[in-house]
Amino acid sequence: HTAKTMQQQLAVATLQAMQTGGWRSIQIRAKARMCANQEVVCHEDFCLHARDYGAKLAQRGVLPALLSGPPHLDPDRTFAVAHAAEVCPFEVSLELAREASAVVCDYNYVFDPAIALFGLADEGALEDTLLVVDEAHNLVDRAREYFSPRLARSAVRQARRIVEGHRQKVCRDLDELLGSLDELIEREASGALGEREGSRRIELDPRPLAEVRLALDALVAPYFTFKRRNAEIWLARDPVVDVLLSLARVTDLLQDGGRELVPLAERSGGGEPDEQLRVYCLDAARFTGATIARSAGCVAMSATLEPFEFYRDLLGFDPDRTDTVSLPSPFPSENRLIVAVDEVDTTFRARARWYGRIAELVAELAPPGRNGLVLFPSYAFLQEVASRLFVPDHTVEVQRGDDSDRLRREILARLRGGGKPVLLLAVLGGVFAEGVDYPGEMLSEVVVVSPALPQVGPERELLKAYFDDRYERGFEYAYLVPGMTRVVQAAGRLIRSAEDRGVIALICKRFLAEPYRSLLPDAWTGGEPASLRRDDPAAAVREFFVNLDGRP
């Protein structure tokens, strides 16, 4: 189970390399991308591929055709065969998954109760399944999102627009119920926030919401009948159904009552203010832990799973049944140089005094004749340094918050290009830090400016208070580990194969001080973080590149 497409390709390649015949593997692709209809409207009146599905599947021999092909069931091939036979490719891929010994899919198909596959949410369904969670550090935040549903007035209003003006009883009843739901959200938000924008913890009684839900549930069947008669209002994503699902999830979690589930009232600003009720899940360990416990076993892996207790606690692994193992990097350590520069202070309070010096350091450390990536904790910080930066031998590219895909591709093309070397300034946690790979000569240096702790804000502070209370590790779990994980993940872009070589430079005095330095991987420090300090880091970098291939 993996989070990103890039990782899925790796998992598929690994399975294919293991194939000796006799068993099958499959990659599950999201429904929207496996849909053969113009839009995802899974109803036989609106989708040819849903009509007479069972009969066509059998008559046209779709499953035998696919199962007699290569042992890895590739989504492109499944799509082509199913499309030609006029049956739904996504449904076919689910049927095939039942025949496969290994399934590669996104986390949400296992851990998100809203869309878990093959009845995986059911007791016993995972008994014979071994879960392998790749890039497991990502699952902490993803799982938190699965259990943080929201109910927004804008969504309720959208649903009302579907039913208002129709004279059928079901529409009038729905309109009235949605109206009372809208009022309820407005009342809670105004009670908590007055006229202000923002987010505030509230006490939220689940009973009134549960009553609305019950009444709405009773209208679902008549509503679908009404829709079938009014083909023109059949929508791919039905706003009425969306509200019902959100309401169900919010109500369920409120009724659960766990102290890690915090009700919030929120108002966003902008052109049209919107109010919403949200259950904010501070810790999804109880839920992910339940899924893990129902499986035959679970292996969670990542380049950044330390400190192990953090991930063990927050993913819900049972301490008595969990083993940890730390494996050395498979790549030669002489392929990379790691330096830490601790003469500057990048804490929020102190950084303004150091912008100029940081710009000088970035310039001094720039890899001669090669590309470098310089990462900052925020766009504001990045801009301050960029405006002071002078690197005549490099082209400076700057990531902006609103970069389009095209701009990103252009920047990557320039990194690949072989023209004047590029120094790319980007933010930690962003697409250039985590979303792309830089094979071979594309990237020779990653400079990380500051440990990139998440910004202090009401939600982080709620997390901190909860982790303090639960694990006595508030700052560490809410700020420190997520920040340092980003640093190590970003630096990990540099060396992805035995051929990759380059420099990692860390800029800030905190990297060599506690509690930060003990979170630097042993593979970087040899257990001795102070060894990363150099008398003349710029000279060390130049020397590394000279030795690399004899050219400066």
- The residue within the footprint of ligand SF4, chosen from 10, 30, 41, 241 (CB under 6 A), is 41
Q: Give 87 or 339: the residue with its C-beta nearer to ligand SF4.
A: 87
**Cβ proximity to ligand SF4, 46 vs 331, nearer residue:** 46
The span of 41-49, 103-111, 326-334, 509-517 binding ligand SF4 (CB under 6 A) equals 41-49
Which residue, chain included where needed, has tokens 């990048």? 346
Q: How far is the CB of 89 from ligand SF4 (least distance, A)?
A: 6
CA 354, 359, 360, 365 torsion-angle sign: positive
* CB-based contacts of 284, cutoff 8 Å, min separation 6: 140, 143, 144, 146, 147, 260, 314, 316
- Choosing from 31, 56, 200, 388, the residue that interacts with ligand SF4 (CB under 6 A) is 31
Determine, following the binding rule CB under 6 A, whether residue 49 of this chain makes contact with ligand SF4: yes
Examine residue 47 and tell whether it contacts ligand SF4 (CB under 6 A).
yes
Choices 28-36, 256-264, 334-342, 503-511; region in contact with ligand SF4 by CB under 6 A: 28-36
Burial of 7 (0-12, 13-18, 19+ CB in 10 A): middle
Task: For residue 118, give the 3-state DSSP assignment.
Answer: helix
Per-residue DSSP letter, 68: T
Structure token digits, residue 274: 């919107």
Phi/psi of residue 324, nearest 5 degrees: -125, 150
96 belongs to the binding site for ligand SF4 (CB under 6 A): no
Find the part of the chain contacting ligand SF4 (CB under 6 A) among 39-47, 255-263, 332-340, 356-364. 39-47
Q: 274-281 and 261-268: which strand pairing?
A: antiparallel
The helix (run of H) or strand (run of E) holding residue 183 is helix 169-193
Nearer to ligand SF4, 35 or 447 (CB): 35
Among 3, 50, 121, 305, binds ligand SF4 (CB under 6 A): 50
Q: At its nearest, how many Å lie between ligand SF4 and the CB of residue 234?
A: 11
Q: How far is the CB of 39 from ligand SF4 (least distance, A)?
A: 7
Q: Which is nearer to ligand SF4, 15 or 36 (CB)?
A: 36
The tokens describing 445, both together, are: 């240096």
Nearer to ligand SF4, 35 or 216 (CB): 35
Residue from 154, 456, 142 nearest 277 by CA: 154
CA count, 13 A, side-chain hemisphere, 32: 2
Q: Establish if 88 lies at the interface with ligand SF4 (CB under 6 A).
A: yes
37 binds ligand SF4 per the rule CB under 6 A: yes
Beta carbon nearer to ligand SF4, 44 or 211: 44
Tokens linked to 503: 């420099």
Of the pair 90, 226, the CB lying nearest ligand SF4 is at 90
Q: Which helix (H) or strand (E) holds 338?
A: strand 336-341
The span of 4-12, 22-30, 34-42, 493-501 binding ligand SF4 (CB under 6 A) equals 34-42
Q: What residues does 201 pair with on adjacent strands?
A: 264
Cα–Cα distance, 375 to 491 (Å, whole number):
9
Binding site for ligand SF4 (CB under 6 A): 31, 35-37, 40-42, 47, 49-50, 88, 90
